[in-house]
Amino acid sequence: MSAFRFLHTADLHLGSPLRGLAAKDPEVAKVFAQATRGAFEDLVARAIEERVAFVVIAGDVYDGDWKDTSIGLFFARQMARLDQAGIPVFLIRGNHDAESVVTRSITLPDNVRQFSAARPETFEIDDLKVALHGRSFPDRAVPENYAVAYPDPTPGRFNIGVLHTSCDGRPPHAVYAPCSVQDLQLRGYDYWALGHVHEQEIVSREPWIVFPGNLQGRSVRECGPKGAMLVEVEDGRVGSVEPVVFDRARWESLEVDVSGVETETDALRAVEAVFEPAADRAEHRPMAVRVTLTGTTPLHAGWRGDHARIADEVQAALQRRHGDAWLEKLKLATHGPGVPAGSAASDLAQLDLAAVLAGIETEEGVRAKAAEVLAEIGRKMPAGVDDIDAPRADDLDQLLAEARDLVLGRADGG
């Protein structure tokens, strides 16, 4: 067998509306939407530059049904670039672009081979002695284990399984086409090109079972570098699996401990110090950053009820270190000196109100009602808002603490 390389990518989510981000800042949402396309353009350019033998896309090319044909035309244009370079593409449909979900279509160049949604299908590349096995999603929800029905490996070939799956479960991703690592290992393939999970992960090396993650982060729950996998094969065995970064915009979540800090100037310097390494890693990419301030500080009382002003100051602090940084959200998880985290501050002028609200966030009735409201908000969010943007039950403690502090701050005249 000859040596060759291929690119394994998944979860492009072209056309993602980013509604959660757009509701906060439409201009920043536009930057991240453009970054999604740009990241894929860069992947195509890298495939041509590296002269890869082929590209594998393991599902979710699109984020859902098209609002218009512009996103389909964009993808077709990128496939034509690969076609002109003589690079074939093998793709499956995932839960976001299943046959029942994406109802429009654009004819793709002849280099694109899409796996059937009716049954597992095999494509072969004779000159490389490669066999690729896969199955697309017919519907958004696929509860059955597709892997166990994949065909036996083709003898004398380098066998690749292409599957969109939650595998043995990786929250918060929904469970689709579930399977175990053992199910995949038992098929006898040389490499499993998986999709659906947005975190990059090498699940196994015997055989190689790989999630490349998504190309571009879409929320604060998808932080850090994003990209694809460049796989090198020699003499019928995987020689290397190299992560390649393609994202054009970066999400980060920072926790800044301001314990003992007595001036706001020093607190903002602490934000800059924690942010600086992340800004360096992002290089010149636009950034959306969530900052959580924690710890015991006398500044806590002054910050209650003055969230907007301190958020503006934190925004400015970020931009002093990175000119294209945007504060996605500021979370205040601080407390005053001598007061346990999560309790009402002791230096309140409104002592009676503080006593009433002390510990209210732990009361079962309050938590149940808040959870009910949170669930209702989730149900009313516009269609197309991905699970990663929806409000979550694990945000409840922070939301209740912020609500309590806001009430106390307003009562103090803050």
Q: What is the mean pLDDT of residues 350-375?
A: 63
The reported pLDDT for the residue numbered 346 is 41
**What is the β-pairing status of strands 227-234 and 4-9?**
antiparallel
Q: Check residue 345 and give its pLDDT.
A: 43
What's the pLDDT at 406? 59
What is residue 364's predicted lDDT score, i.e. its pLDDT? 74
pLDDT at 116: 97
CB atoms within 10 A of CB 152: 11
Question: Contact 204/313 with Cβ under 8 angstroms?
Answer: no
| 261 contacts: CB under 8 Å, gap ≥ 6 | 267, 270, 295, 297, 299
Q: Mean pLDDT across the chain, nearest whole number?
A: 87
What does the pLDDT read at residue 17?
78
Mean pLDDT of the region 3-9: 97
- The single-letter DSSP state of residue 148 is G
- Alpha-carbon gap, residue 242 to 348, rounded angstroms: 56
Structure confidence at residue 347 as a pLDDT band (50, 70, 90)? very low
**CA 201 – CA 226 distance, rounded (Å):** 12
The strand ranges marked E within 267-371 are 287-296, 325-335
Task: Answer yes or no: are the C-beta atoms of 208 and 179 closer than 8 Å.
Answer: no
What is the predicted pLDDT for the residue at 1? 55
User: Cα separations (Å) of 111 from 55, 190, 358?
Assistant: 10, 23, 65
Per-residue confidence band for 351, with pLDDT thresholds at 50, 70 and 90 = very low
| pLDDT of amino acid 27 | 82
Strands 191-195 and 201-205, bridge-based pairing = unpaired
Q: Bigger pLDDT: 20 or 74? A: 74
pLDDT for 361 equals 62
The average pLDDT across 46-59 equals 97
Q: Which domains does the chain have, with CATH numbers?
A: 4-245 (3.60.21.10), 250-411 (no CATH)
Which is higher by pLDDT, 343 or 154? 154
* Structure confidence at residue 318 (pLDDT): 98
pLDDT, mean of residues 169-183: 84
Q: What is the pLDDT of residues 122-174, one digit of tens each?
A: 999 999 999 999 999 999 999 999 999 999 999 999 999 999 999 887 767 67
Which has more pLDDT, 175 or 209?
A: 209
Average pLDDT over residues 72-95: 98
pLDDT at res. 2: 78
Distance CA 280, CA 37 (A): 23
Over range 100-127, report the average pLDDT.
96
197: its two tokens: 């999970």
pLDDT of 399: 66
- Tell me 14's DSSP state: B
pLDDT, tens only, 240-272: 999 999 999 999 999 999 999 999 999 999 999
What is the pLDDT, as a whole number, of residue 379? 58
CB 90 within 8 Å of CB 132: yes
State the pLDDT confidence band at 350, using cuts at 50, 70 and 90. Answer: very low
Please report the beta strands in 259-374, taking only residues with DSSP state E, as ranges in sequence order: 287-296, 325-335
Mean pLDDT of 12-28: 80
Q: What is the pLDDT of residues 367-413, one digit of tens each?
A: 777 777 766 766 565 544 444 445 555 566 666 666 665 565 554 44
* DSSP structure string for 15-63: T---HHHHHH-HHHHHHHHHHHHHHHHHHHHHHHHHT-SEEEEES-SBS
Mode of pairing for the β-strands spanning 89-92 and 112-114: parallel
Q: What percent of the chain has pLDDT over 70?
A: 82
| Composition of the chain by helix, strand, coil, percent to 5 | 35, 25, 40
Q: What is the pLDDT of residue 16?
A: 85
**Each residue's pLDDT tens digit, 21-45:** 777 778 888 898 899 999 999 999 9
CB 209 within 8 A of CB 177: no
